[in-house]
Amino acid sequence: MNKYKDFENYLKEYPSADGFFGEYGGSFIDEKLIPAFKDADDAYEAICHSAQFINELRRIRKEFQGRPTPVYHCERLSRLFGHCQIYLKREDLNHTGAHKLNHCMGEGLLAKFMGKKKLIAETGAGQHGVAIATAAAYFGLECDVYMGEVDIAKQHPNVIRMKMLGANVIPVSRGLKTLKEACDAAFEAYLNEYKDAIYCIGSALGPHPFPKMVRDFQSVIGIEAREQFLDMTGIMPDAVTACVGGGSNSLGMFTPFLADPVEIYGVEPLGRGDKVGDHAATMKYGTKGRIHGFNTYVLQDEKGEPLPVYSVASGLDYPGVGPEHAFLRDKGRVNYVAVSDEEAMEAFFLLSRYEGIIPAIESAHAVAYAIKYAKEHKSGSILACLSGRGDKDIDYVYENYGCGEKYVEKYSK
């Protein structure tokens, strides 16, 4: 039982003032960047706990984002597997279709309160770029999004969205021309421009204070979900789950449940299998290391260079993981499991067919684990975070998997 009691003051205790979750996290950056990150942390601590900031963010969440998002009981899906009940926290109903706006609006408002003129970000598949461009448009801020040339060619619709929203999409042509180089370029820009700009990272990772800031802004997911679930059922769910890429929707979902007697499962992508380059299951196959300026688990070679990663869900294929996840596993509070491409695609099609909800492929990983859990438990309930909607994925899914006849067939007798 003490397992849960230990977490009653967790949010006050972690991270430490210098950004550590135990041995994970911290800030290992170019000396010249230190003032910029300190500036952001000081402002965050000073501003974000003020009533004025909190009230303004609440108003934005309600009127612009469409919060609270509902908790939904998947009755038809649950019936397929027996008596365990599957519930979803519907982050797919956020404006722009995913949870990423939760922290982007928080960071935008912080920039506004700090008197900054510009938001700087990197993006890979473009989902974070679109969310940050949306926040910039809302607050009337400039927005520079750094994106590798390879990704620009692949993610045309998101590039167009960002430009329509008024962002400058800045092509990065060095190295492999993908996310890592875009990240480096965005850091360099921040170094030169931090007096006028704030850097907005895409997940609960990076150097301190970003893992803390993003977690706090995303916690709205779990705070709402906990209250809504209690309201609907009168009890706590037996288990809570979410997919883990960098780890922002999952930490948002998990942290408000840490002191409750609820099992927690983080779901990583197992991709095509357990060989190097076929998955991005950092917790399962990674080792302790350092990536992008913080300590965590990393999929790395002997020299500490990140290994190639893969997942059918482009939002999950990161060779590291947010530092707080590494800590919560060591503490024994969160279990990490891995779900394959095939399992995620089955969940994608089942949720579409049985509930009328087309999920993002990332989110389908969490649904797949909820299904696995429901199959293994005769009763009880599991609450999964549906981090985003699948509109962005349907062309890719159709080309590679059709409309899913093969996946739903075996359930329709």
Ligand X SMILES: *Cc1c(COP(=O)(O)O)cnc(C)c1O
Taking CB under 6 A as the rule, does residue 339 contact ligand X? no
Stretch of residues binding ligand X (CB under 6 A), selected from 44-52, 176-184, 246-254, 263-271: 246-254
Smallest gap, in angstroms, from Cβ of residue 72 to ligand X? 16
The residue among 243 and 345 lying less far from ligand X, judged by its C-beta, is 243
Concatenated DSSP letters for 130-166?
Answer: HHHHHHHHHHT-EEEEEEEHHHHHH-HHHHHHHHHTT
What is the per-residue binding string for ligand X in 257-296, x denoting contact by CB under 6 A?
Answer: ----------------------------------------
What is the four-CA torsion angle of 251, 284, 310, 181, rounded to 10 degrees?
Answer: 60
Catalytic residues: 74, 99
Taking CB under 6 A as the rule, does residue 248 contact ligand X? yes
Phi, psi torsion values for 112, nearest 5 degrees = -60, -50
Residue whose CB is nearest to ligand X in the complex, by number:
388
The residue among 93 and 360 lying less far from ligand X, judged by its C-beta, is 360
Give the number of residues in contact with ligand X, rule: CB under 6 A: 19
Taking CB under 6 A as the rule, does residue 94 contact ligand X? no
The residue among 106 and 116 lying less far from ligand X, judged by its C-beta, is 106
Pairing of strands 85-90, 381-386: parallel
The residue among 84 and 338 lying less far from ligand X, judged by its C-beta, is 338
Q: Which residue has the tokens 């197992």?
A: 270
The residue among 19 and 322 lying less far from ligand X, judged by its C-beta, is 322
Neighbouring-strand partners of residue 71: 89
- Rounded Cα distance between 70 and 149, Å, is 38
Phi, psi torsion values for 142, nearest 5 degrees = -70, 160
Residues 383-402 contacting ligand X, CB under 6 A: 387-388
Smallest gap, in angstroms, from Cβ of residue 147 to ligand X? 15
Q: Is the dihedral of CA 218, 223, 228, 234 positive or negative?
A: positive
Pairing of strands 197-199, 118-123: parallel
Closest CA to 268 of 311, 330, 220, 213: 311
What is the per-residue binding string for ligand X in 123-152, x denoting contact by CB under 6 A?
Answer: ----x-------------------------
What is the per-residue binding string for ligand X in 347-376, x denoting contact by CB under 6 A?
Answer: -------------x-xx-------------
Closest CA to 319 of 158, 171, 205, 184: 205
The residue among 108 and 388 lying less far from ligand X, judged by its C-beta, is 388
Taking CB under 6 A as the rule, does residue 311 contact ligand X? no
Quick count: other Cβ atoms within 10 Å of Cβ 406? 12
Taking CB under 6 A as the rule, does residue 43 contact ligand X? no
Phi, psi torsion values for 300, nearest 5 degrees = -140, 160
Taking CB under 6 A as the rule, does residue 68 contact ligand X? no
Give Cα 329 distance to the centre of its chain.
17
Question: Which residues would be at the binding site for ligand X (CB under 6 A)?
Answer: 98, 100, 127, 203, 243-250, 315-316, 360, 362-363, 387-388
